[in-house]
Chains A and B, each alone.
Chain A
Amino acid sequence: MARLRWRERIIEGVIYACGVSSIGIVMLIFLFLVKEGLALFQTVPIGDFLLGDRWYPISEPPRFGILPLLLGSLWVTVGAVALSVPVGIASALFISEIATGWMREALKTGTELLAVIPSVVLGFIGVTMVAPYIQRTFHLSTGLTALTGAFVLALMAMPTIVSITEDALAAVPRGYREAALALGATRWQMMWRVLLPAARSGILAATMLGIGRVIGETMAVMMVTGNAAVIPQTLLRPVRTMTATIAAEMGETVRGSEHYFALFAIGVVLFALSFVINMLADLFLHRERA
């Protein structure tokens, strides 16, 4: 009996350790990123890193200004969000309020399938189908542009936006719908004036999580945006995002070099951004529940 007790103590100890391990992992990730990232600032002032407009990591002397990369991420993200948020919310409305029966199931499965396709496969399709199309349409020298990235990323953010918006719409009490319709509103008026405002914070959360997905996306964006680390003038120019920079350059750096530390410093920026975005999304989700 006593031995049984002990065994159980040990098992419960392990369960407890695994339970709180997530906190430890988040702290470890932060610690390792910061440990390697901060090393950069012994030689490069933090202002030059954040606000420098030149990213020439292998020239002599090297320049580690991430402004072009930040703006690259920003342009692609803004483009993708502008495309995916309205379309995503509209299709969530359609799927949850208008479609019925097999059509609804088919549309739901379709959006879920989109989340399943690996990002490298979408990047591949971006290179083989979207980029040539954009090149032809706008008569460009290359189809690998910020706009191409925005298209592909809009597609990748869609499942997140649609499914969370659907959840938010489903959480609006039936009575709201019935009351609006009973007052003589059309179904569209009911959706526009009642449903969307009632589901507001859930939709905001969906948008935030969509943004988080877009900012963090790496492979597809690296394959389709052309990877030019210059401050972009229009959406039809090649850009390079922060994620793509890490993925493309880490393989060539010397471990422990300035360049290596600089890529970790970009990682810190990305981690901080995703942290803020997730916190905001979580806040919106909880506000809705309360």
Chain B
Amino acid sequence: MAVAPWRRALRMQRVALTLLGLATLCVVIPVVVVIGDIILRGAGALSWAFVSTMPSHGMRAGGIFPAIVGTLELVGLTTLFALPMGVLAAIYLSEYAAERWLTRLVRLAIVNLAGVPSVVYGLFGLGLFVMFCRFGTSLLSGALTLAIMILPVIITASEEALRSVPNSFREVSLSLGASRWQTIRHAVLPCAIPGIMTGTILGVSRAAGETAPILFTVAAFSLPKLPESLFDQAMVLPYHLYVISTQIPNIPATQRYGTALVLLLLVLSMNGLAVIIRTRFRRKRQW
């Protein structure tokens, strides 16, 4: 007797669902392996001396202090440039712009900016900031390049945060005689700040881990001292990891894994912070 069709369908389902589960494991297991491997092998290298001293012996020994400082400075500057511009652009999109061709064009531009390859941002930064504006290979050029790269992330997150503020807030403020800008400034923006912060931190953490845009705009192979002004080059963590894992032979594995771990911890902690802000805010929200 032939197998009943429903039985075949059930058997088929069992096979298919198993395959789906296996596929999911193919995505998740590498994440665990990558992070676990770096933590396990990097933890041995991690020490106060490793994060607080200069590299020595052609970066084969010593610490990664200048790369950490450089990354923090670069990330701070990037935030300084990207945050105000991104938030103002988001205010325009959520509070002022009517849905017409210009707004559609703006949205299309943002979608495109989000998709431009990171190395192309590097070329752009080289052409505009390093060469045309004559800022040279410097913290300033690198931060401006990264700021433009993360602008779409900040705009999109901030706009969403602003739009999630109920319209009644605006109506009450306007009905009390406040102007449009006063309403945005005092009634809308304060409620959107956690969302804006979350988006900004996520964008900035991406900037902290990127290498391609800073290759020709700020990154230095090795520097004897810390950058002293906006117009100095800097060592940065991702580029340092690239250099010691591919450009210099015979580097002890602990140096590489230690650097990878510091970079990973930096990026993961920023993302963790963003998640904490988001969940606390959701719990506290009153509307």
Interface residues of A (CB under 8 A from B): 4, 8, 11-12, 14-16, 18-23, 25-26, 28-29, 32-33, 35-36, 86-88, 90-91, 93-95, 98-99, 107, 110-111, 113-114, 116-125, 127-129, 155, 158, 162, 184, 186-189, 191-192, 209, 212, 215-219, 223, 243, 246-247, 250-251, 255, 263-264, 267, 270-271, 274-275, 277-279, 281-282
Contacts and interface: CB of A to CB of B under 8 A. Distances in A.
Contacts of B34: 117, 121-122, 125
A19 B20 contact: no
Contact of B116 (A4, A216, A264): A216
Given A25-B109, A215-B117, 19 more contacts: A8-B179, A18-B89, A88-B27, A90-B19, A90-B23, A111-B28, A113-B31, A116-B205, A118-B238, A121-B34, A125-B34, A127-B246, A189-B13, A218-B118, A219-B238, A243-B119, A250-B122, A250-B123, A267-B120
Contacts of B26: 87, 91
B128 A28 contact: yes
A218 B212 CA distance: 6
Interface centre among B245, B256, B267, B271 (most CB of A within 10 A): B245
B106 A20 contact: yes
Looking at chain B, what size class is its interface with the partner chain?
Answer: 35 or more
Contacts of A155: 30
Interface centre among B28, B32, B123 (most CB of A within 10 A): B123
A130 B257 CA distance: 16
Given A19-B96, A216-B117, A91 B20 contact: yes
Contacts of A271: 116-117, 120
Contacts of A127: 245-246
B11 to A, nearest CB: 10
Shortest beta-carbon contacts, A-B, top 9? A19-B92, A216-B117, A118-B209, A90-B23, A18-B88, A188-B13, A278-B115, A91-B24, A32-B127
A186 B10 contact: yes
B43 interface: no
A147 to B, nearest CB: 16
Contact of B96 (A12, A121, A251): A12
Given A18-B85, A32-B132, A118 B267 contact: yes
Contacts of B6: 184
Interface centre among B17, B27, B105, B239 (most CB of A within 10 A): B27
Contacts of B271: 116
A26 B112 CA distance: 8
B124 A32 contact: yes
Given A15-B96, A94-B24, A263-B123, A186 B13 contact: yes
B196 interface: no
Contact of B27 (A21, A129, A162, A212): A162
B23 A94 contact: yes
Contacts of A15: 88, 91-92, 96
Interface in B1-52: 6, 9-10, 12-13, 16-17, 19-21, 23-24, 26-28, 30-35, 37-38
B113 interface: yes
Nearest to B130: A255
B102 interface: yes
